[in-house]
Structure 1
């Protein structure tokens, strides 16, 4: 991205608050599924192309991917086949992006809190163990028991892409659950590749790899030119892994785990925006370079690399991998042999049945025991559909087939099993999601508050045991929310201790650029017991909610500013706001303010008299208790 492109992007974002337009769905901020959908479709097209190619001319397919390549200078040469180049080199980039995601999730994502992570972590572990056990039970005595690693992993690209295509009406919470599960699943699969499927191990080159990894770690402290240094050291580490006998793709994972990740510091972001405004007032090359560099540096290297590599992985690397590895023969004779093969049956049962039993069964057990966190929208029927989707093992399954199965006929049978399991898992998940949406009760339509009020968690103003309740999903930059909050305060004056008022976050960040920052700042204030004081202060000055304004408000309220700034970038604060956003998505909240009166969604005016009538209506029996 050029300096001027970076600057223009920043200017567009700065002007976003002034642009009128339709309010976007809160689900849009959960993350666009467009890239995942296109990537999954390209993966499918490449798979079909590989199958057609292999069945039209297996000789040309094998000859092409067996083409020898020589890379090097003088006596330093590396001879590889085109197939090995894809599997060992390009897939190292894929595993590098997997490692970046693992690092991010454990640093600032869903896996930072053990209570939040418990359900996906346990489900992922069960989804690794149960399929492997089923495979070994079915394949024992066949000589292929060693290939149990084929059934342990879920293909994240297909999983997310398929969820975008066939998922339930409100997939946000399920998508977060499955992505966290996939991260743990990837850790397990990568560990097994390293520990079980590494042959001809030579430890000495790993000393060179270790030195290179130390260099990768300290590269973060360079003031400039980090990109070429990272690239050079990555090549050294990859070559050292290759020489050691450890599969070189794992070099990508290890390097990624050393790349720093952090949430943007609000002071750095505001400094960058000041430079952008300076450039706009006096455009020249020096200001453009300074502003662009400042904008880039405000985002962690981890997230910049994820953003940079994601399109190449989705649109190039994974389709190439499928084209190089999914070429299976599908003649009637071969299919008949595969149907009778314990290897094929073990893979299909392991992936389809094992993943479903492991993921869904462990989730049901945790739910019954009251362990872990199941938010609104993460219901057991949706987990059942997600567990079925986990049977799409594809990428890493095909990858391990190449490592664990050496007989060509057995490899073909294994690939048939992987492809069959992916198709069956997709169809089964589609059926489950369609039935689930069709029979979903009215209580799940968004008309009734999905998560009951909990004084220990929620921000409650008034008597926690009051007979009347108003829950507002709102945005601190929304003028209508300011008006609604004023009406609710009038109602409190009328009802006194008989009313409790609860605020939950639904920031419309695409319309109000500072709304998400305001929500997180209020949670940081809540850590010091000043939530409603802070909320009133930012409501009173909706046009000035930049980082410096937020810090100024905290200082004016007499808060511990140093602790406040630490809490602003904590995983607890971001997770708390994200939970409210996901709850809002589960109830199809697309505009704010959205009010729930005594647990039921309020439709109509929200002036004080209208709210009083709705609160005291005799036919309203949905009074929510903690």
Structure 2
């Protein structure tokens, strides 16, 4: 008989799931890198550029595997990101002004300084457009590294790093929408606006069926893709429309009272089934959609993205100023920007450090924020066409992410050793 498991809070379950996602990403990224540098590298390139067509009536979408993943599957990832941002802003860690101020200031510094460092190093060169690559943090990897330290790390640091990454993701979405967008097709942009308006209206009216948002989301994705905006923006836009509302406790109380009334076994069973259905329906559409998407994104979307995008052939290109700019931004700009932004927020009294979190812990969080894997690879594909610059960018992202993970882990391990009370020596 297995021992009973202790109940976990939603946040603890989230951290555990993201830690596993980090391990899965490492394995798939390593597999892609080895494949791209093996004697079968041509098969990897063929796999990336294999085309699949989807025909609906007179409309046909003919995209390569890489584009289906980066434009299609990643839209689901950005939908989940958007849902998490909305939840945290309304009822989560970012709903508190002081916590939101700390995460916002740290994220702002952690985006501006890396981008500036990269831009200064690559000013006037062919790689100047990649300034957005070192601006993002990969939450799955970062929390995965924190999980290796277990209880040595205060929960407040995990909460801060999660909030930081969520604000960071919001900033990355804005950067993609504003600076990495091709020529716009106003007709499709108008259709996307009408579809999004319909989704917002459905959310405002309290539509609870996820099928409604699924249909509107598919249409929105298609119109955004054809409009010239990056298709993943559709995921964030849809997330803003999905409602999150607090349930009415009176309905639960009456149903619980009814279920507790004496009666025959089949009557009590029917009441309990009704109560179970009520509790299921009582979850807001946002929570239900977030819970439904999380395993799919963890076990399918991110590993497939890593498999398709992390295969960098070292033979095809070397390390250049693009790689150095990304490494400088992620390894130096990120920790300086994160800690500096947080210090300014605390210094001016608009925020305070979480309980039991020291500035030494914050330096460790800043180092881990340099793990840019998923978002940085994604922006690399937007900033550069196929060729040597894209190879340099991906190499820079992979090397910086590995080094940031090692440095962050080592620093936090050392800080936790310093903070641990020493046992008295025997005479």
Normalising by structure 2, report the TM-score.
Answer: 0.90
Which structure 2 residues correspond to residues 114-263 of structure 1 after superposition, within 5 A? Answer: 114-166=97-149, 169-220=152-203, 226-263=209-246
* 8 A Cα contact 1:168 1:382, kept in partner: no
1:98 has 2:81 as partner: yes
Secondary structure of 1:262's aligned partner? coil
Which structure 2 residues correspond to residues 290-439 of structure 1 after superposition, within 5 A? Answer: 290-331=274-315, 334=317, 337-338=318-319, 341-439=320-418
Give me the whole-angstrom Cα distance separating, in 1, the residues matched to 2:312 and 2:264.
Answer: 58
Partner of 1:18: none
Stretch of structure 1 that moved more, 296-305 or 248-257: 296-305
Give me the whole-angstrom Cα distance separating, in 1, the residues matched to 2:150 and 2:117.
Answer: 27
CA offsets 1:363-404 (integer angstroms, 9 cap, x no match): 233334443122312211111111100000111111111110
Secondary structure of 1:374's aligned partner? coil
Secondary structure of 1:282's aligned partner? helix
Secondary structure of 2:70's aligned partner? helix
Give me the whole-angstrom Cα distance separating, in 1, the residues matched to 2:60 and 2:11.
Answer: 47
Secondary structure of 1:31's aligned partner? helix
* 8 A Cα contact 2:93 2:163, kept in partner: yes
Normalising by structure 1, report the TM-score.
Answer: 0.63
The Cα shift of 1:293 comes to 3.5
Partner of 1:449: none
Give me the whole-angstrom Cα distance separating, in 1, the residues matched to 2:264 and 2:385.
Answer: 62
Secondary structure of 1:111's aligned partner? helix
Give me the whole-angstrom Cα distance separating, in 1, the residues matched to 2:260 and 2:67.
Answer: 50
Report 1 or 2 for greater relative contact order, CA contacts < 8 Å, sequence distance ≥ 6. Answer: 2
Partner of 2:93: 110
The Cα shift of 1:296 comes to 1.9
| Alignment CA distance shift 1:280-1:125 (3 Å) | farther
Partner of 2:36: 54
- Segments of 5+ residues of structure 1 without an aligned counterpart are 1-20, 446-626
Give me the whole-angstrom Cα distance separating, in 2, the residues matched to 1:73 and 1:91.
Answer: 21
Give me the whole-angstrom Cα distance separating, in 2, the residues matched to 1:305 and 1:142.
Answer: 44
| Alignment CA distance shift 1:215-1:74 (3 Å) | closer
Give me the whole-angstrom Cα distance separating, in 1, the residues matched to 2:393 and 2:333.
Answer: 16
CA offsets 1:275-310 (integer angstroms, 9 cap, x no match): 655799535997576434311222111111111110
Count of aligned pairs: 418
Give me the whole-angstrom Cα distance separating, in 2, the residues matched to 1:91 and 1:280.
Answer: 51
CA offsets 1:440-483 (integer angstroms, 9 cap, x no match): 1649x9xxxxxxxxxxxxxxxxxxxxxxxxxxxxxxxxxxxxxx
* 8 A Cα contact 1:219 1:226, kept in partner: no
Determine which structure has more spread, i.e. the larger CA radius of gyration: 1
| Alignment CA distance shift 1:219-1:283 (3 Å) | farther
RMSD: 2.6
| Alignment CA distance shift 1:120-1:293 (3 Å) | same
Give me the whole-angstrom Cα distance separating, in 1, the residues matched to 2:258 and 2:206.
Answer: 19
Partner of 2:12: 31
The Cα shift of 1:228 comes to 2.1
Give me the whole-angstrom Cα distance separating, in 2, the residues matched to 1:405 and 1:192.
Answer: 15
Greater percentage in helix:
2
Give me the whole-angstrom Cα distance separating, in 2, the residues matched to 1:177 and 1:325.
Answer: 29
Give me the whole-angstrom Cα distance separating, in 2, the residues matched to 1:285 and 1:80.
Answer: 51
Secondary structure of 2:98's aligned partner? helix
